Chain A
């Protein structure tokens, strides 16, 4: 029985993390392993393009504090091997940035899987920002009036 199956059979609680990485000089199929407690807990196959960021959804035990993420090519040659700390936010998806230079693609505050800073602004967010801008402007005008009255 695999570690993953064991976890499922045991009713262990799991959470999802999103491993993000960028390989400078490899294109092709890759396997991404989440290794917990020395055992592969989850594995995903992805298509990698050199210089392009990749994000992979991995399942790990809910109580895992650190996980080792190993990326290999199809021949199981290790392309990336990094142990990272899982952000302690129960229930929330956690971003694991495995290589530098990802901030350009994945916002530090990105909350949704697949959300990148280069994606278009959703209409509702644009509308909200415009409303907020108007409210701030009104507040500034009111503050100015109060300042003049206090002269």
Chain B
């Protein structure tokens, strides 16, 4: 996990840091989207195989 290094209290972080943090979050969400898409494909394959077994059995 990449920590968001933005601290409202420190007063030392800048809008640039916030922008980088937001970009990191976006990258992580994109990676998450890919993982979930792969998972959905996998589950679909498993479902089809299960259906074949039911029909065949």
- A129 to B: closest C-beta gap in Å: 5
CA–CA, A132 to B26, complex, Å?
A: 10
B16 nearest CB neighbor, chain A only: A117
Residue B50 interfacial (CB < 8 Å)? no
Task: Confirm or deny: B55 has a beta carbon within 8 angstroms of a beta carbon on chain A.
Answer: no
Q: Is A140 an interface residue (CB 8 A)?
A: yes
Q: A119-B15, A129-B22, A136-B25 are in contact. Are A143 and B32 (CB under 8 A)?
A: yes
Q: Classify chain B: how many residues form its interface, as a range.
A: 20 to 34
Q: With contacts A107-B15, A121-B18 known, is A129 near B25, CB below 8 A?
A: yes
- Report the separation of the CA atoms of residues A121 and B20 in the bound assembly, to the nearest whole angstrom: 12
B36 contact set on A, CB distance < 8 A? 143, 146
A residues apposed to B, CB below 8 Å: 107, 109-110, 115-123, 125-127, 129-130, 132-133, 136-137, 139-140, 143, 146-147, 150
Q: Which 3 residue pairs of A and B lie closest in terms of their CB atoms, listed nearest first?
A: A126-B8, A123-B8, A117-B16
